[in-house]
């Protein structure tokens, strides 16, 4: 995709978001308050973390349908660990979340690369498998507020320098993701792989290792999101975040990440998250039925896919260094 087109698309999406916010604010001025802006940002933070991981996968022409199940399973593991070990330090719980999530993501990557299976088939299978694992681990029981570790519940409720901790964590994750894709050769190779897998292999990029990497990263971020989700909502159960993977994919597509691979930016994906956050926040304010939320999201996805398909016909940008690609 042409860089100028990408920038124009991002500005257009930002303009649409502003028009929606101003229109809703005209009808309900409370929507334009700083407090409401913080609420939208806080509500969108976990989605932003998941979207970054999904974006990296989509860049390789793959897809990860298991992110919500990974989130739920990792959240349950952390909740069970916290209940069994009340004195567990927060950093240990965070480390466990990252490791469990990365392991689940690595399973996806291993199955895809080892047996050359389609990502949609593998992650659809692990979506169900991870949900089943939650039921087995918890014996079908819920872990409610009184049994959630105090540190897990406390982290999402922290406020640092005037902003919720969730917002700071999302900013940190998104910023690191942008730096990785922009300045690390692995990040540039991910774009190259998605743009033209055959050419990427020809210049020496290890396709298997890059695919394994992106699914592991996606899983790790889903694990972090699982800990934060359980802490924020103070509950863990088998159907936690069921169907949320569709919202994650929607945010990516709305933000200009192509399902055809090789196209997308962190800024665009973040705007996709903001769009969904603003729409979700606006509907209750203007007293629109929540069922319209899915209809609106579906319509926007179709429009975004059509726009992306049109843009894909534009000459692509250079994605490899002139000196070649390091492996």
Which region among 74-88, 219-233, 307-321 has the lowest average model confidence (pLDDT)?
Answer: 307-321
Q: What integer pLDDT is reported at residue 249 of this predicted model? A: 93
3-state SS of the chain is CCHHHHHHHHHHHHHHHHHHHHHHHHHCHHHHCHHHHHHHHHHHHHHHHHHHHHHHHHHCCCCCCCHHHHHHHHHHHHHHHHHHCCCCCHHHHHHHHHHHHHHHHHHHHHHHHHHCCCHHHHHHHHHHHHHHHHHHHHCCCCECHHHCCHHHHHHHHCEECCEEHHHHHHHHHHHHHHHHHHHCHHHHHHHHHHHCHHHHHHCCCCHHHHHHHHHHHHHHHHHHHHHHHHHHHCCECCCCCCCHHHHHHHHHHHCCCCCCCCCCCHHHHHHHHHHHHHHHHHHHHCCCCCHHHHHHHHHHHHHHHHHHHHHCCCCCCCCCCCCCCCC
| Residue 195 pLDDT greater than 70, yes or no | yes
The pTM (predicted TM-score) of the whole model is 0.92
The count of residues in the chain is 327
pLDDT band at 316 (very low <50, low <70, confident <90, very high): very low
pLDDT (average), residues 286-302: 73
Task: Output the six-digit token pair for 247.
Answer: 């919202």
Q: Taking residues 260-265, what's their average pLDDT?
A: 91
Higher pLDDT, 259 or 234: 234
Domains and CATH numbers, the chain: 3-311 (1.10.3470.10)
| pLDDT band at 313; cut points 50, 70, 90 | low
Strand partners for 159: 164
Bridge partners, 236 (sequence order): 143
pLDDT digits (tens, 9 = 90+) for 51-105: 999 999 999 999 999 999 999 999 999 999 999 999 999 999 999 999 999 999 9
Average pLDDT over residues 178-202: 94
CB 215 within 8 A of CB 62: yes
Cα–Cα distance measured from residue 232 to residue 219, given in angstroms and rounded to the nearest whole number: 20
Buried-exposed string 152-169: b where 16+ CB fall within 10 A, e elsewhere: bbebbeeeeeeebbbbeb
Mean pLDDT score across all residues of the chain? 90
Check residue 8 and give its pLDDT: 79
Q: What is the mean pLDDT of residues 229-252?
A: 95
The pLDDT-based confidence of 319 (bands split at 50, 70, 90) is very low
297 — pLDDT class (breaks 50, 70, 90)? low
- The residue that leads in pLDDT, 287 or 69, is 69
Read off the pLDDT band of 302 (50, 70, 90). Answer: confident
């Amino acid at each position: 995709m042409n860089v100028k087109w990408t920038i124009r698309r991002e500005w257009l999406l930002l303009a649409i978001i502003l028009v929606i916010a101003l229109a809703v604010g005209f009808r309900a001025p409370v929507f334009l308050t700083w407090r409401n802006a913080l609420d939208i940002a806080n509500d969108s933070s976990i989605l932003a973390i998941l979207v970054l991981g999904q974006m990296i996968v989509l860049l390789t022409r793959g897809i990860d349908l298991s992110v919500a199940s990974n989130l739920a399973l990792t959240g349950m593991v952390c909740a069970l660990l916290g209940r069994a070990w009340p004195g567990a330090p927060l950093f240990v719980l965070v480390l466990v979340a990252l490791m469990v999530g990365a392991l689940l993501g690595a399973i996806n990557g291993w199955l895809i690369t080892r047996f050359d299976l389609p990502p949609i088939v593998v992650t659809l299978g692990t979506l169900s498998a991870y949900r089943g694992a939650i039921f087995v681990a918890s014996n079908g029981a819920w872990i409610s507020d009184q049994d959630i570790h105090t540190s897990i519940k406390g982290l999402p409720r922290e406020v640092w320098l005037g902003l919720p901790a969730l917002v700071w964590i999302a900013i940190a994750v998104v910023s690191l993701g942008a730096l990785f894709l922009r300045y690390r050769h692995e990040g540039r190779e991910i774009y190259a792989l998605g743009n033209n897998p055959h050419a990427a292999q020809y210049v020496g990029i290890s396709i298997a290792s890059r695919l394994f990497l992106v699914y592991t990263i996606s899983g790790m971020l889903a694990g972090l999101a699982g800990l934060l989700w359980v802490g924020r909502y103070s509950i863990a159960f088998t159907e936690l975040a069921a169907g949320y993977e569709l919202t994650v994919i929607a945010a990516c597509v709305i933000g200009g990440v192509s399902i055809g691979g090789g196209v997308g930016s962190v800024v665009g994906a973040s705007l996709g998250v903001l769009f969904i956050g603003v729409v979700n926040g606006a509907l209750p304010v203007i007293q629109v039925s929540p069922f319209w939320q899915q209809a609106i999201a579906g319509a926007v996805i179709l429009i975004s896919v059509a726009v992306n398909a049109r843009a894909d016909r534009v000459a692509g940008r250079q994605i490899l260094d002139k000196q070649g690609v390091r492996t």
